[in-house]
Structure 1
Amino acid sequence: MSFRDNATALSATMGRRVDLARRALVRDLVMPALLLLFAGYLTYGIVTMDIPPGTTFPGPGFFPAIIAVGLALFAALLIVRALRAERGGSGEAQTDKSQEEDATARRSGVDWRSLAWVVAGFAAFIVLLPLLGWIIAAGLLFWAIARGFGERRHLMSLVVGLTTSSLAYIAFDMLLGMSLPSGILGWGF
């Protein structure tokens, strides 16, 4: 008999039943943890950034700080939501059958392919930014994330990504006087 045949075999070896609600809570806390890690990474980058003397407000750390605070806020909201869902699902007034139905209704799988597109897109962005520059790397990042979220019009999402990254590049250069990496395009903006 294998572990698949006996749902309690694993819990018997551990001396207790596997708590599905706890597993769901851990699963629901993965994304907030990743958001907090990224917010921490941004905060570390802001703190260790070399800012030239005489830099005026808003400065190079202003927009990354807004993003880091937003990520931390979203992570906190997701944590509160996960904890409320876990606490709400463990009411003792529910019968075993209704608990099983709730657990089945709440159970959802992770779309690993979509997650891989998003994570690989960010990883490629980090690696390719110095080489290809902001416009191309951010356009490809937009395309990868759109693909991860299920967009099937690949050329359209690439065009939208390149347009958006170009507008961001121009806005940072002209409005803020800050240049983003130009990479292989090297237009000298």
Structure 2
Amino acid sequence: MTRDRYLGILLMIAALFLGIVTVQIDYTPMTDDPGPKLFPLFACTILVLCGLGLLIQSKKNQKKQVFQKGYWIKLALVFAGLIAYGLMLWLIGFKIATPIMLFFFYWQMSQKGQFSLFRALIYTAITFAIIYSFFQYVLGSYLPEGILY
């Protein structure tokens, strides 16, 4: 099996698990608030589509590729980053946790030897401004403030 197939299957399993957990969220609806289920279900849908895309594309490219140790470490770091982000949202809130997460993911996605601190800070600031503006002003959503912040 190729690396793309492994990743596609892993993305779809993660989306299924996260979708099941999301559906079990209990909340009291407010006036026009879409609720806490909307974004996670949207993200799960995107993960499934990406996983299917990788499976379909990997059938076209049958070259044997196996994960190397470095890929497993990066994959583990990304999943640990997602878990840490969830904890940080709870502890310190959206405004502090999200830029940290964005910077971390930019660092993880950069090629070896191609990381630029200045560029990472600029991309983090721009991406955070877009995400914050979208949730705050377009959706009018409540953003977590954290228990320590």
- Do these two structures clear the TM 0.5 threshold for a shared fold by scoring above it? yes
State the match for 1:92 in structure 2: none
Whichever residue aligns with residue 33 of structure 1, its letter is: I
AA at the equivalent of 1:46: T
Q: Does 1:174 align with 2:133?
A: no
1:3-152 alignment, distance < 5 Å: 25=1, 27-53=3-29, 56=32, 58-86=34-62, 109=68, 111-112=70-71, 114-150=74-110, 152=115
Structure 1 residue 79: Cα displacement: 1.2
Counterparts in 2 of 1:33 and 1:137: CA distance versus 1, 3 Å: farther
Paired AA for residue 127 in structure 2: T
Query: After alignment, is 174-183 or 153-162 more displaced?
Result: 153-162
Q: 1: distance between equivalents of 2:83 and 2:14?
A: 12
Cα pair 2:29 2:35 within 8 Å, conserved:
no
- Looking at structure 1, the residues matched to 141 and 67 of structure 2 have their Cα atoms a distance apart, in angstroms, of 44
Count of matched residue positions in the alignment of Structure 1 and Structure 2: 145
Q: Secondary structure at the match of 2:21?
A: helix
**CA drift at 1:131:** 0.9
State the one-letter code of the partner of 1:123.
Answer: I
1:161 to 124, 127, 145: 124
**Identity score, percent:** 28
Asked if structure 2 preserves the Cα contact closer than 8 Å seen for 1:143 and 1:158, the reply is yes
Structure 1 length-normalised TM? 0.60
Structure 2 gaps, min length 5: none
For 1:58 and 1:184, how far apart are their aligned partners in 2?
23
Task: Tell me, in whole angstroms, the C-alpha distance in 1 between the residues paired with 2:147 and 2:27.
Answer: 25
Q: Which amino acid aligns with 1:41?
A: F
* CA pair 82-52 structure 1, distance change in 2 beyond 3 A: same
Alpha-carbon distance, 1:130 to partner: 0.8
The structure-2 alpha-carbon separation of the partners of 1:161 and 1:75, relative to structure 1 and needing over 3 Å to count, comes to same
Question: Max radius of gyration: which structure?
Answer: 1
The Cα offsets for residues 71-107 of structure 1, whole Å up to 9 and x where unpaired, read as: 1011011112223333xx6xxxxxxxxxxxxx6xx67
What SS does the aligned partner of 1:124 have? helix
